[in-house]
Amino acid sequence: MPANNKYPINQRLMEIFIRSAKDAIDTLNAGGSQHGHDMDTFITTTHGMRSALLYVGEKEASEAAYALEKAAIDGNVEYISSHLGPFIETLEALCEKLCPKGEKNATASKPDEDTNLLAHELEKIISALETYDDTAAYLALDLLDKVHWSTDTAAALSKIRDGLFLDSDFEGSAKKAKGLLALICPDKNC
């Protein structure tokens, strides 16, 4: 936890921050305005990180995000070109620093996962999301939260929950659930 944050940070929200920061790194590495990328995406990404960085007590990094956002709004490609790399490095360092110790070297796969349970609950989640039944979706997600999953599976389940909880994105969450189901049961034999 950052030393300059006065309040303890909820572990779940810290995980969301880390995932958001990693997504921002991917987006920003894909190219800012200097690579001809969509300036709106660049502005949205830096704006989102500005708020998220403040939440975890990283005021200086938040100010850097704001400066990049403002530069993009003003069309200042030179500023973006010279400051984007260090900003991405700051986000990467924060992700490394804030990542729970056990997850830094966690393996991506866990061969003893109960794919039958996962597939069954994902089918319930998909059905619930397709009928806009958030209560049923949360019940299935809560059940899955009680099981120890691989890092990749846990991250995918978190993205499904976050899409539903943070954005009320039933369609997007259903799409993520279908993607995970297809990944664990490619031949539909689960």
pTM of the model: 0.52
pLDDT in tens, 73-127: 998 989 998 999 999 999 999 888 877 654 444 333 344 578 888 989 999 999 9
Whether residue 157 is predicted with pLDDT greater than 60 in this model: the reply is yes
Residue 66 confidence (pLDDT): 96
CA–CA gap between residue 101 and residue 96 (Å, rounded): 9
More confident of the two residues 180 and 30: 180
Tokens linked to 122: 């994902």
Residue 5 confidence (pLDDT): 47
Quickly count helices (H) and strands (E) in the chain. Answer: 9, 0
CA–CA gap between residue 186 and residue 131 (Å, rounded): 24
